[in-house]
């Protein structure tokens, strides 16, 4: 029986993912479900700038800065929606490969519905499906709602 | 606001689409929405094989048989789910390439949610998304729930 109890919404802070979040909150309200909002900071800053003489320590510092910045943005995004106050909403920021982290989070947190927008930050045209959405649709073990 | 009122469930009568139908019925019950159970057939019959041609009457006859059979199969699939009695369900048959017929039906009927199985009749592996589902995910103008 399809009764979502834990909804995962990956966000990259684009207007597309704003819409996915709005719809996920509507669904959560209808089913009294929890909402997990996940932002993934793309990894690999480390390797690509090795030649510029960055130490592991300064990379770590950069990463921490990126995570803190993303956490602030996540809070800002949440503040756009008044429903958040009536619901159980959790925000999380992780560094890594976006689609891999999303799929792992789905399994770890026992998510039973993912709501994702068809396009993200690099959204080009109307009839495309972004690479993150595509990989999540393929790899997740729970139903995925693709918003437009 | 996401509040489905008309839910389209494309079916190819596979067990995968059984699951999609079941979830769609659950959602329809929750939101008091209508379910459109839809099957696309291809009635473009090759009339000649070499020199052996079928008469027009014969072709019409075959087309009618295909459609009658599809209607029976739709009813049979619905009968598997007792929930279908509590939801208003409309069955419909379209003609043409499955994904094109599905997208056309969605537009014609003003569908606001499509529930589709990630795999269909030719479903091979668990981690793939079938070609019909993929094209529907890409081309749909409304949200699409991909069931697993």
Give me the percent of chain A exceeding a pLDDT of 90: 52
* Sheet-wide strand order for B6-10: A89-96, A34-42, A6-10, A113-117, A144-147, B144-147, B113-117, B6-10, B34-41, B89-95
Q: State the nearest Cα–Cα gap between B94 and chain A, in angstroms.
A: 23
Residues in CB range of A87: below 8 A, 6 or more apart: A25, A28, A29, A34, A35
Q: State the nearest Cα–Cα gap between A37 and chain B, in angstroms.
A: 18
Inter-chain touch B23–A129, beta carbons under 8 Å: no
By Cβ distance, the residue of B139, B144, B147 closest to A127 is B139
- Rounded to the nearest 10°, the torsion over CA A5, B143, A77, A95 is 70
State pTM to two decimals: 0.87
Interface of B with A (CB under 8 A): 1-3, 22-23, 26-27, 30-31, 118, 127-129, 134, 137-148
**In contact, B115 and A2? CB cutoff 8 Å:** no
The angle that helices A98-108 and A131-139 make with each other, rounded to 10 degrees, is: 30
Is the pLDDT at A127 greater than 50? The verdict is no
pLDDT by residue for chain B (148 residues), tens digit each? 678 999 999 999 988 899 999 999 999 999 999 999 999 987 677 777 777 888 888 888 888 899 999 999 999 999 999 999 999 999 999 988 899 999 999 999 999 999 999 876 665 554 467 888 888 998 999 999 999 8
pLDDT for res A120: 62
Distance CA(B108)–CA(B99), nearest Å, equals 14
By Cβ distance, the residue of B3, B128, B138 closest to A129 is B138
Is the pLDDT at A86 greater than 60? The verdict is yes
pLDDT for res B129: 76
Averaged confidence pLDDT in chain A: 86
**In contact, B13 and B41? CB cutoff 8 Å:** no
Stretch A115-134: mean pLDDT: 71
A72, with CB counted inside 10 A (0-12, 13-18, 19+), is exposed
Using DSSP's 3-state secondary structure scheme, residue A36 falls into: strand
pLDDT in tens, A11-69: 988 888 888 999 999 999 999 999 999 999 887 665 555 566 677 787 788 888 989 99
Q: What is the largest CA-CA distance in chain A?
A: 55
Residue A148: pLDDT band with limits 50, 70, 90: confident
User: Nearest residue of B to residue A22 by CA position?
Assistant: B1
Distance CA(B138)–CA(B147), nearest Å, equals 16
Q: Which of A33, A39, A3 is nearest to A18 (CA)?
A: A39
By Cβ distance, the residue of A2, A141, A146 closest to B137 is A146
Is the pLDDT at A92 greater than 70? The verdict is yes
């Amino acid at each position: 029986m399809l009764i979502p109890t834990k909804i995962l919404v990956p966000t990259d802070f684009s207007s597309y993912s704003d819409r996915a979040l709005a719809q996920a909150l509507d669904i959560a309200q209808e089913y009294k479900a929890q909402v997990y909002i996940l932002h993934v900071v793309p990894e690999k800053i480390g390797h690509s700038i090795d030649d510029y003489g960055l130490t592991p320590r300064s990379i770590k510092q950069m990463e921490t800065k990126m995570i803190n910045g993303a956490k602030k943005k996540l809070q800002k995004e949440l503040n756009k929606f008044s429903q958040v106050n009536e619901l159980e909403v959790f925000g999380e920021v992780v560094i890594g490969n976006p689609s891999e982290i999303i799929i792992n989070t789905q399994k770890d947190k026992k998510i039973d519905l993912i709501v994702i927008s068809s396009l993200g930050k690099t959204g080009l045209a109307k009839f495309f499906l972004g690479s993150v959405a595509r990989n999540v649709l393929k790899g997740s073990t729970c139903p995925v709602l693709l918003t437009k | 606001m996401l509040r489905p009122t008309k839910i389209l469930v494309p079916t190819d009568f596979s067990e995968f689409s059984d699951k999609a139908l079941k979830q769609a019925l659950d959602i329809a019950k929750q939101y008091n929405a209508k379910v459109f159970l839809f099957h696309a057939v291809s009635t473009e019959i090759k009339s000649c094989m070499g020199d052996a041609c079928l008469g027009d009457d014969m072709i019409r006859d075959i087309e009618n048989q295909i459609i009658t059979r599809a209607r029976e199969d739709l009813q049979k699939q619905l009968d598997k789910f007792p929930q279908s009695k509590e939801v208003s369900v409309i069955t419909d048959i379209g003609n043409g390439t499955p994904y094109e017929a599905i997208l056309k039906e969605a537009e014609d009927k003003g569908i606001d949610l499509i529930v589709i199985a990630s795999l269909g009749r030719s479903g091979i592996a668990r981690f793939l998304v079938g070609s019909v589902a993929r094209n529907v995910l890409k081309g749909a103008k409304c949200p699409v729930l991909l069931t697993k």
